Amino acid sequence: MPSIAFHDLANMDYKKAWDYQENLFSSLTDQKIGVQTSSENNLPDGYLLFVEHPHVFTLGKSGQESNLLVNEEVLKKHGASFYRINRGGDITYHGPGQIVGYPILNLSAFGLGIRDYVFALEQVIINTLEHIGITSGRIDGASGVWLEAGKTTRQRKICAIGVRASRGITMHGFAFNVNTDLSFYRLINPCGFTDRGVTSIEQETGKQADIEQIKSILKTEFAAVFQSEIIDI
C-alpha cells in the first residue's frame, strides 16, 4: 500500500508554502530518477499538505491576467497578493476559511495517470461533501467540484483544482471553500468563467462549519480514494 506523509501547515504565506512544496517535489523527483542522498533513501510515495493562506490570487500558466478584474492598488486595499504560478488552470482565490490541499505524489506508486489523478481528487471532495449532506458532481470540460452541476443556470463551484505534474510527480492541488469569504471572488473571473458562481459549505448550510472536522474527513477520504496509508509528520 502506498504511503503518504501528511502535514497540516495551519496558516502560512502562499510563497512560503509554495517553496515548501517545491522542496518536497524535488526530493521525490530526485528519488525517482536516482539522484538522492542517503537521507532520502526511504521517502514516502507522496506528501499531503493542508494549509490556509492569507488573501491571495494565483494565476495558472495558461490563464489570462485579464481575469483579475482589479489593479495592484485595489489588491493592497483588500490585503491581498497576486502570483503567476506553474500549475494548470486560470485564476483562483485562496484565503482564510478555505482548505487548500497540496498533494505531492509519485503517481506511478498509485498506478495513476494525470487525468485519473484529477478525477480522484474530485472524488475525494465529492465524498467529503456527502458526509455533511451536500450533493456535488463534475462538469464536462471544467475541472473541480460543482453543486447542481446539471443545471446550467445554477452551477456553482465549491472546490477548484489546478495541478502540475512533471516526471510523474504532482504538486499544487485543490482549494476547498469551507467558511470562505466569497466576496473576494468578485475581484476575478473565477477559473476564467464569467457565467458560473462559487459557493462554500457555510453558504450552503447557513452556518460555519467545523474546519478541523472537515480536514479529518478529507484525510480519511483521501486515504480511501488513493488506497493509501496516511502518516502524520
Q: Which residues are catalytic?
A: 191
User: Among candidates 84, 43, 50, 47, which has minimal Cα distance to 65?
Assistant: 84
Whether 104 and 21 have beta carbons less than 8 Å apart is answered as yes
Whether 44 and 233 have beta carbons less than 8 Å apart is answered as no
**Helix count and strand count (H, E) for the chain:** 6, 12
DSSP class of residue 199 equals: -
Measured between alpha carbons, how far apart are the two ends of the chain, in Å? 18
DSSP string, 151-165: -TTT-EEEEEEEEEE
Whether 110 and 2 have beta carbons less than 8 Å apart is answered as yes
Whether 29 and 55 have beta carbons less than 8 Å apart is answered as no
Whether 95 and 213 have beta carbons less than 8 Å apart is answered as no
Pairwise CA distance, residues 184 & 91, whole Å: 12
Q: Match 505524489 to its residue by C-alpha cell.
A: 105
Residue type, 214: I
